[in-house]
Amino acid sequence: MEQKRRLAELQLAIMQVLWDSGEATVADVRDALRPGRELAYNTVGTMLTKMEANGQVQHRSEGRVNLYSAAWKRDQVSQSMVSDLAERLFRGNVSELMCHLFDGCDVTRDDITQLKRLIRQKEKELRDDA
Type of residue at 29: V
The pTM (predicted TM-score) of the whole model is: 0.78
Residue 110 Cα to chain centre, angstroms: 23
Domain limits of the chain? 9-70
* Secondary structure E strands in the chain: 57-62, 65-70
Low-confidence ranges of the chain (pLDDT < 50): 1
- The burial class, CB within 10 Å (0-12 / 13-18 / 19+), for 30 is buried
Q: What is the pLDDT of residue 2?
A: 54
Q: How far is CA 28 from CA 9, 66, 92, in A?
A: 18, 11, 38
Other Cβ atoms closer than 10 A to 63: 5
Under 8 Å between Cβ of 70 and 56 = yes
* Residues 94-126: tens digit of each pLDDT: 888 888 888 888 888 999 899 999 999 999 999
Q: What is the pLDDT of residue 3?
A: 64
Could you give the 3-state DSSP secondary structure of residue 59? strand
Considering only the top CATH level, what class is 9-70? mainly alpha
